[in-house]
């Protein structure tokens, strides 16, 4: 097929605005998937995606559309995630496209991630086609959507296509707009073969399978490829396209999106954003890849059974191949043994990775408290980056600790403004600006410490706004804060798995919660055991583990009281001795229960 009849586009939107359902209708209309085989959210292949109702990975698919101008067009579509934690997946998909369908929910209007994804597409120079989806909903408000489209995104309202992914309204209009407005593949006249790796997966039988967009030249089985970042050479065993399942083809030509099976077996050899060329006539200039993504959230992941360490290492290696935003390195803990320090883009990203380790690789794991990267300045020394509270140097040597902040855009209904402002203040944030979006909604621009939004901020935002609030954020600058290391002592000994870096004012409250939880979970001991939260040398909170006590006077019937007293004193001495030499072993499930919460 002529390269001028190929169109590469993706669907971008806020979470739950109907991207995957619209993809189903496009697959159905172009007869790419037969009605018998088609399932709801067909492109969401992962169990986790179906359970949670969200898209986690970008899914490519090739369709053939017979347009009204009489030509048959090859359409390469990518369905993308909407959640802020997976915006990196979106940027990778955009780099492999020339156009984007920007979906807006007719009932909810322009949301935080709609704005963020639209700006990503504009920055890449893509043709953006606005689509107002779900117009058949009883609560649809088209006037609000068109006004927001013009006021917030600066896109003319007459450009918007009215559609419904559920009932199939406007599907032909969308396909015609893609054919007419999205430009044909760029850079296809380049003299050398160049393809951009936008994703990869690991197959136990075939090794590493790269997902690539061919910009110029062609790739076919039998050719030797070369990875431009490392100059690694490998023979191509098979090439194919996504229909949406993997389908073998003789060659991938300019403008095509497909997969490449080669002799590369090691997951570390190929990375996302690399350029593939041919070894015979290699290109000299790489394709513009992606900016290196920096993880924002860190936590320790340890195998429940120490014998599973190597299995966990292999599992993380394969997930790293499939997810360039995920990083890990070895570490050890006194309480949990050998494991890995892992970096993620956010808390949902962390949850998904942990769940994939359990399901796809069958490794039971424990994870420590999530933390962020702090910049620690010491007397006369270089700045130290600390992502693990255990690595924090002696407080006497520290000049200041700086924590990462975020610039957040929070879209909320007017009625929730007071409660959200209180939530932002509670999380040590400041409100920089307030913009009125329309008669019912406002946008707050806030600066917040990243550490404060990790655990429950998004949940509370959703519950306060009854599900109508949304947030998008990007990393801001580092700011100095009154931060301290809080340790949990059990029977006077620190347990490193529970250490955390907190703001001094919040240490007593967080320490109290953790002590109460631990005192409740640790099984009763034979002697009195204190669970304490300490900052420096000061105890800021305390609780006691339940004491198990044998009734030594049970066999005494009447008689002199001194007999009972003698037995009780003997027990008292034994308890005193036990307290001096006794050790408390914390069962693994106690770690799991506390760290899960």
Q: Is residue 235 annotated as involved in ligand binding? A: no
Radius of gyration of the chain (CA): 29
Distance CA 462, CA 465 (A): 5
Residue with tokens 């109290």: 512
Residue with tokens 């098979």: 238
Q: Is residue 155 annotated as involved in ligand binding? A: no
Closest CA to 258 of 226, 200, 213: 213
Cβ 342 vs Cβ 353: under 8 Å: yes
Distance CA 226, CA 216 (A): 15
Closest CA to 412 of 466, 362, 343, 333: 466
Q: Is residue 143 annotated as involved in ligand binding? A: no
Distance CA 6, CA 182 (A): 10
Burial of 575 (0-12, 13-18, 19+ CB in 10 A): middle
Angstrom distances, CA of residue 338 to CA of 105, 297, 411, 439, 495: 47, 20, 43, 55, 15
Q: Is residue 21 annotated as involved in ligand binding? A: yes
Q: Is the dihedral of CA 471, 476, 479, 484 positive or negative?
A: positive
Q: Is residue 379 annotated as involved in ligand binding? A: no
Pairing relationship of beta strands 257-262 and 207-216 according to DSSP bridges:
antiparallel
Q: Is residue 569 annotated as involved in ligand binding? A: no
Q: Is residue 20 annotated as involved in ligand binding? A: yes
Longest Cα separation, the chain: 110
Distance CA 220, CA 431 (A): 55
Residues in the chain: 597
Q: Is residue 511 annotated as involved in ligand binding? A: no
Residue 536: which residues within 8 A CB-CB, separation 6 or more? 395, 484
Cβ 444 vs Cβ 410: under 8 Å: yes
Distance CA 521, CA 313 (A): 30
Tokens matching residue 556: 């005494």
Q: Is residue 277 annotated as involved in ligand binding? A: no
CA atoms lying within 13 Å on the CB side of residue 5? 13
Beta bridge partners of 6: 74
Phi, psi of 372 (to 5 degrees): -115, 180
Tokens matching residue 361: 């690789």
Distance CA 557, CA 580 (A): 33
Q: Is residue 54 annotated as involved in ligand binding? A: no
State how far Cα 487 lies from the chain centre. Answer: 28
Residue with tokens 């200039």: 285
Annotated binding site: 16-21, 133-136
Annotated binding site for GTP: 16-21, 133-136
């Amino acid at each position: 097929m002529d390269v001028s009849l190929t169109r590469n586009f993706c669907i971008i939107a806020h979470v739950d605005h109907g991207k995957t359902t619209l993809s189903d209708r496009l697959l159905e209309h172009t007869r790419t998937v037969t009605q018998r085989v088609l399932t709801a959210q067909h492109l969401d292949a992962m169990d986790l995606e179906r359970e949670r109702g969200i898209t986690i990975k970008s899914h490519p698919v090739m369709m053939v559309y017979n347009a009204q101008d009489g030509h048959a067009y090859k359409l390469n579509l990518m369905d993308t995630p909407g959640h802020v934690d997976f915006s990196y997946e979106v940027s990778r998909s955009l780099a492999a496209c020339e156009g984007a369908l920007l979906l807006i929910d007719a009932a909810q209007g322009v949301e935080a991630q709609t704005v963020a994804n639209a700006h990503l597409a504009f920055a890449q120079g893509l043709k953006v086609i606005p689509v107002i989806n779900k117009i058949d909903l009883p609560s649809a408000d088209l006037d609000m959507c068109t006004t927001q489209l013009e006021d917030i995104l600066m896109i003319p309202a007459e450009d918007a296509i009215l559609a419904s992914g559920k009932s199939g309204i406007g599907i032909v209009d969308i396909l015609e707009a893609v054919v007419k407005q999205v430009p044909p593949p760029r850079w296809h006249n380049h003299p050398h073969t160049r393809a951009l790796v936008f994703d990869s997966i690991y197959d136990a039988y075939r090794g590493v399978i790269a997902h690539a967009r061919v910009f110029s030249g062609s790739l076919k089985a039998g050719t030797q490829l070369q990875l431009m970042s490392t100059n690694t050479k490998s023979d191509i065993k098979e090439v194919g396209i996504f229909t949406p399942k993997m389908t073998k083809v003789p060659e991938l030509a300019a403008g095509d999106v497909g997969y490449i099976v080669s002799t590369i077996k090691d997951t570390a050899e190929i990375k996302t954003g690399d350029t593939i060329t041919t070894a015979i006539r290699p290109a000299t200039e790489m394709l513009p890849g992606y900016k290196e993504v920096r993880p924002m959230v860190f936590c320790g992941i340890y195998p429940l059974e120490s014998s599973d360490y190597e299995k966990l290492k292999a599992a993380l290696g394969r997930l790293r191949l499939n997810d360039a935003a995920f990083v890990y390195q070895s570490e050890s803990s006194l309480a949990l043994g050998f494991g890995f320090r892992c970096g993620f883009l956010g808390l949902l990203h962390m949850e998904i990775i942990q769940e994939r380790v359990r399901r796809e690789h069958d490794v039971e794991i424990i994870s420590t408290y999530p933390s962020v990267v702090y910049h620690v300045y010491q007397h006369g020394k270089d700045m130290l980056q600390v992502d693990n509270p255990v690595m924090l140097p002696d407080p006497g040597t520290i000049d200041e600790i700086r924590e990462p902040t975020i610039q957040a855009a929070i879209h909320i209904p007017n009625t929730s403004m007071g409660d959200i402002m209180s939530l932002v203040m509670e999380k040590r944030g400041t409100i920089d600006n307030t913009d009125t979006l329309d008669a019912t909604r406002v946008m707050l621009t806030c600066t917040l410490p990243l550490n404060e939004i990790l655990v429950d901020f998004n949940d509370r935002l959703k519950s306060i706004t009854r599900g109508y609030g949304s947030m998008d954020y990007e990393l801001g600058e580092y700011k100095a804060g009154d931060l301290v290391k809080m340790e949990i002592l059990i029977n006077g000994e620190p347990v490193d798995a529970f250490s955390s870096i907190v703001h001094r004012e919040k240490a007593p409250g967080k320490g109290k919660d953790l002590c109460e939880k631990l005192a409740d979970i640790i099984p009763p001991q034979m002697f009195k055991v204190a669970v304490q939260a300490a900052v420096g040398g000061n105890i800021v909170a305390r609780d006691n583990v339940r004491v198990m006590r044998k009734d030594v006077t049970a066999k005494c019937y009447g008689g002199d009281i001194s007999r009972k007293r003698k037995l009780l004193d003997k027990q008292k001495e034994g308890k005193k001795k036990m307290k001096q030499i006794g050790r408390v072993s914390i069962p693994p499930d106690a770690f799991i229960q506390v760290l899960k919460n």
